[in-house]
Structure 1
Amino acid sequence: MLGKMVRGLFLAMLAVFAGLLAWLYVAPPELLLVGDSYSAKIVCSNRFIAGRDPAEVMAVDVQAPGHPLLKFVSAVVDEERKTVTTRIFGFFAESKAAYRDGLGCTNLPRGYDLSALSGLPQGPQALPKPSDIAWPAGDAPLADGDARPELAAPLADGKLLGPGIRAVVVIKDGKLVGEHYAPGFTKETPLLGWSMTKSVNAAIAGRLMAEGRLSFDDANLLPEWAGDERKDIRLRDLMGMESGLRFNEDYGDVSDVTRMLYLEPDMAGFAAGQPSEAKPGTTFRYSTGTSVLIARIWMNRIGDFGEATAYPQKALFAPLGMTSAVLETDVTGTLVGGSYLYATARDWARFGQFLLQDGVWNGTRLLSEEYMQAVRTPSRASGGLYSGAQTWIAGPDDKPSSAYGLPEDTIWLQGHDGQTVAIIPSQRLVVVRMGLTPSKLGWVPQPLVKAIADALD
């Protein structure tokens, strides 16, 4: 009798376990889908854009600094089809990302396959960069005569460089004067800027402004907003993160930002669907969704999707010589202007130098004086933290640069996990720092920038 009861209990538990496995396979929780989708995207981009080893990327970039569940995710790379498929525990929450030349990797949300990308425009052709010409026109190795010996100490100081350092590039008086790369990374390695992408995406919109096709004061920006108060949101409000739209930017769970990036096929459509919670221009809410909306808006203004896809290279990357730059898309073809720009540290420095030069490159003004004024001026509701053109006035810890002894005219590009570009016009200095440095470690770049500035003074 007891044996039958034990056997029955065992069979019941086995049935429950089998049901749980079936549930995980058929309808996995969104948190697992987010984790697998994130893993597929990071491995795909780093393999097919940056040329890195997928196993190393999974271990170092995805699992080591991420959610504990990510340690149970496995990745399969299809080199021929240029896809990455991920599953947790080897079976569940399957997710896939696919690579396209010139446009990097795109997540394929649940229910989508490679055919979803077949009708989208192709990416622009890669531009060659001379290897025997000095920066910024080319990418010749830094010559001994150009390297500033004063930088040897700060560029060798591990405490200043921070944990997870990958690259530092220093530009003084428009010249490359020092750089440092961690093992496995070189001047040819494209690196993800994360939210530094926002500043570049805004500048692409700024190029349309310079051409008279877009304006800070434009309203009625999206058809989804035509019937309600959101029609009054101006581009100016979006650029300063003052749209009044609700958006949860918490990355620790299935929030608006993680849902948009890793579960939604139409990122801009998802962001556009967020309700209004305040009058435009009255509150500051940092939002990756806002930057994706800006990308959709300037792409809509161009009209032709193929032309819009090629526009960043034509209008900005090619003129500046940012030949490594790859701006990735969602599955609808909208460029992910809030997060997904890969470029070498030297190309990130080119963009920083471009802003330092007031939006002028090789004697040609590419961004209007009005736009550049917005780059330098805090947005009204941000309390001095953020500019009216998707750059930071305060440093990564929200402290003014003067708190670290840096000039008050310092502006910043900032991205997740320690990506920064410091731009100091008064000292004719640009400092790029790229790495994998979670904010929980407490490292900030201001002491590094200050040490470099002092060494070159």
Structure 2
Amino acid sequence: MRVVKGIVGIVAAIIVLAVGWLFVAPPELIRVGSGYSAKIVCSNTFLTERDPQEVLETDVQAPGHPLLRIMRVSVDRTTGIVRAGLFGMFGKGTALYREGLGCAAVPDGDVEAARGRPAPLPPEADEPGEGLWPEGSEVMPLEDGELYAVLNDEALTGPGMRAVVVVKDGRIIGERYGEGFDETTRLLGWSMTKTVTSALIGRLVRDGRLSLDEAGLFDNWTDGRSEITLADLLGMASDLTWNEGYGDVSDVTRMLYLEPDMAAFAASMPLDTETPGGIGEVFEYSSGTSVILSRLWQNAFEDETEALAYPRAALFDPLGMTSAVLETDEHGTFVGSSYLYATARDWARIGQFLLQRGVWNGRSLLPVGYVDWMVEPHPASGGDYGRGHVWRRASNAWLPGDNPELPADAFFLSGHDGQSVSVVPSENLVVVRMGLTPTALGYKPAFLVEALIETLGRPQ
């Protein structure tokens, strides 16, 4: 009996120690999972007005790491604070909603400091203008059975589809939405945000506030990193070390969910001394690079409030993207790699803007030739990636199996879990496809684009 009691006592002590350890110093993987859960639930609660529990179950737990299935969240709508943790206790994930800036992960838990940081002034326009899209919100879809046969084909739109918008000759001719989503629902673009970051930099280049060949980008880059230019960063050819792996604690997950100052973390990376080649010669896809670029363009402003208002003033308002919210990190740097929320129709405006080579309503918002430069294949990528944060390879084309041959001038915005904007200038076509579609499902939106080209190009 004494032996049994002794064993029970030892087991109880181990459990108490383990619980204490998880509470005081949870492993980084649990902290990443907690931070991710809090951030995704926060943004979808306050920006898309979805039910927090439904978001947790559908967007976080169902497609994610097994660890996420035992995450629990609490939402305080009054304070805008969302907390998450393993069984609701371990991990201490925190996110904070701020008006005009969406939600920020707060890894250090200092929500009051995060709340006290500068914020942009409210937007002047909060409703779409009058008239047909894209000038206004009115849409007149084609009454075309063959078009809607494509849009209603689940094999083409893919599992987990939330929105498809088709733009032909500058007008929305067809759209389809998943259950619970419509034309007013903000949707997360994930890495499609990178291309928007490039457009913002183009605006500042046009205004003479930035230069693509500018080097010596940070004062503490006194080593070989001083030779990195904006163009190197935009082409993902900076030669900075980076691990973009997901599903574990990597550079990208650490940056997004464990680092209060994402840009400082990304900029602390050394040059890669192991891979042959150097700056401008080696392609390394990196969300850290895009956050560095966000910090750099924000540094072009002396007034932080003005910088925070710039995406709306320079791009979103001119394009009529009244739904767009670009979120920042805890320290106020835009997460230009990942966190732009907008309706599918507003994502289509971005695609149409790029198709029109940066011209909107007869006004050139970007330097002449900038979009052509963006989509020019970067030699370091083997032709897969453009010089300006845009893909030349169709989304998921690297997966095993067949790939359609789209027109050679096509280029793509591509984001995690099946987000894509396909731009086909020769067809005067933009196709937006949004959803929750993990890569493991093997979905390739290029087949949808191919089917639409064939359908819309048939003899009338």
Equivalent in 198, 203, 208 of residue 207 of structure 1:
203
Q: Does 1:164 align with 2:160?
A: yes
Judge conservation of contact 1:124–1:313 (CA < 8 Å) in 2: no
Q: Does 1:257 align with 2:255?
A: no
Judge conservation of contact 1:224–1:272 (CA < 8 Å) in 2: no
Where do 5+ consecutive residues of structure 2 fail to align? none
Separation in 2, partners of 1:126, 1:36: 36
Q: Residues 75-154 of structure 1: matches in 2 within 5 Å?
A: 75-122=73-120, 124-125=122-123, 127-130=125-128, 133-140=131-138, 142-143=139-140, 146-154=142-150
Change in CA separation of 1:204 and 1:124 when aligned onto 2, cut-off 3 Å: farther
Q: CA deviation at 1:304?
A: 1.4
Judge conservation of contact 1:39–1:86 (CA < 8 Å) in 2: yes
Separation in 2, partners of 1:211, 1:384: 30
What residue number does 1:248 align with?
A: 243
Judge conservation of contact 1:102–1:126 (CA < 8 Å) in 2: no
Query: Aligned partner of 1:304: which letter?
Result: D
Judge conservation of contact 2:392–2:410 (CA < 8 Å) in 1: yes
Q: Does 1:316 align with 2:315?
A: yes
Q: CA deviation at 1:403?
A: 5.0
Separation in 2, partners of 1:7, 1:128: 67
Q: How does the TM-score come out when normalised to structure 1?
A: 0.96
Separation in 2, partners of 1:147, 1:37: 46
What residue number does 1:38 align with?
A: 36
Q: CA deviation at 1:90?
A: 2.2
What residue number does 1:216 align with?
A: 212
What residue number does 1:177 align with?
A: 173
Query: Aligned partner of 1:181: which letter?
Result: Y
Judge conservation of contact 2:117–2:332 (CA < 8 Å) in 1: no
Change in CA separation of 1:99 and 1:307 when aligned onto 2, cut-off 3 Å: same
Separation in 2, partners of 1:153, 1:427: 20
Q: CA deviation at 1:123?
A: 5.3
Q: CA deviation at 1:143?
A: 3.1
C-alpha distance after superposition, 1:158-185 (max 9, x if no partner): 1111000000000000011000001100
Q: CA deviation at 1:105?
A: 0.1
Moved more, 406-415 or 297-306: 297-306
Equivalent in 181, 184, 187 of residue 188 of structure 1:
184
Q: Does 1:455 align with 2:451?
A: no
Moved more, 127-136 or 295-304: 127-136
What residue number does 2:334 align with?
A: 335
Q: CA deviation at 1:367?
A: 1.1
Change in CA separation of 1:107 and 1:126 when aligned onto 2, cut-off 3 Å: farther
Judge conservation of contact 1:43–1:57 (CA < 8 Å) in 2: yes
C-alpha distance after superposition, 1:348-390 (max 9, x if no partner): 0000000000110011111113321222201120000000000
What residue number does 2:283 align with?
A: 284
Change in CA separation of 1:252 and 1:443 when aligned onto 2, cut-off 3 Å: same
Q: Residues 412-431 of structure 1: matches in 2 within 5 Å?
A: 412-431=412-431
SS in 2 for 1:283: coil
Separation in 2, partners of 1:376, 1:369: 14
SS in 1 for 2:349: helix
SS in 1 for 2:379: coil
Separation in 2, partners of 1:10, 1:39: 35
Q: Residues 45-56 of structure 1: matches in 2 within 5 Å?
A: 45-56=43-54
Separation in 1, partners of 2:295, 2:344: 27
Equivalent in 220, 226, 231 of residue 231 of structure 1:
226
SS in 2 for 1:250: coil
Judge conservation of contact 1:385–1:398 (CA < 8 Å) in 2: no
Q: CA deviation at 1:130?
A: 3.7
C-alpha distance after superposition, 1:26-85 (max 9, x if no partner): 000010000010000000000100111111110000000001111111111111112211
Change in CA separation of 1:316 and 1:147 when aligned onto 2, cut-off 3 Å: farther
Equivalent in 15, 19, 22 of residue 21 of structure 1:
19
What residue number does 2:435 align with?
A: 435
What residue number does 2:302 align with?
A: 303
Judge conservation of contact 1:100–1:123 (CA < 8 Å) in 2: no
The sequence identity of aligned pairs, in percent, is 52
Separation in 1, partners of 2:447, 2:59: 25
SS in 2 for 1:223: coil
Change in CA separation of 1:123 and 1:263 when aligned onto 2, cut-off 3 Å: farther
Q: Does 1:373 align with 2:372?
A: yes
SS in 2 for 1:352: helix
Separation in 2, partners of 1:122, 1:316: 15
Query: Aligned partner of 1:447: which letter?
Result: F
Separation in 1, partners of 2:120, 2:390: 30
Q: CA deviation at 1:297?
A: 0.5
Separation in 1, partners of 2:371, 2:137: 27
Where do 5+ consecutive residues of structure 1 fail to align? none
Query: Aligned partner of 1:439: which letter?
Result: T
